Amino acid sequence: MSEQISETGRIAVGPLDALPDGSQTEVMVAGQSVVVINDGGQYFALRNNCTHQHFPLLGGEVVMGRITCEKHGAKFELSTGKPKTLPAVKPVQIYRTDIADGVLYVLEL
């Protein structure tokens, strides 16, 4: 995890080419760990915390727009944070992303 710079409510993740398709990284947003994902050229950001038993989502397999928690297999929709399979029943907090001058940002809540 690299040092993040907050400017006007947005956290720089880094240059777009540092997060190629299919990759993930972690940034800290207002003290919260957030996993940032490039899925097919679309960027998503979710709190790095499964709502089932608080296992990190970072590194979970991403298929069909969903990330799988490696602990017990719950799947969450990247675009909404909604759980799509048990054992999770509560949504994961999502964050909006932004791109400016080739740099990816996560917006604070």
- 66, 78 Cβ separation under 8 angstroms: yes
Residue closer to ligand FES, measured from CB, 74 or 106: 74
By CB under 6 A, residue 58 contacts ligand FES: no
By CB under 6 A, residue 92 contacts ligand FES: no
Reported residue count of the chain is: 109
By CB under 6 A, residue 55 contacts ligand FES: yes
Query: What's the order of all strands across the beta sheet hosting 24-29?
Result: 24-29, 32-39, 42-47, 94-95
**What are the residues binding ligand FES (CB under 6 A)?**
50, 52-53, 55, 69, 71-74, 87-88
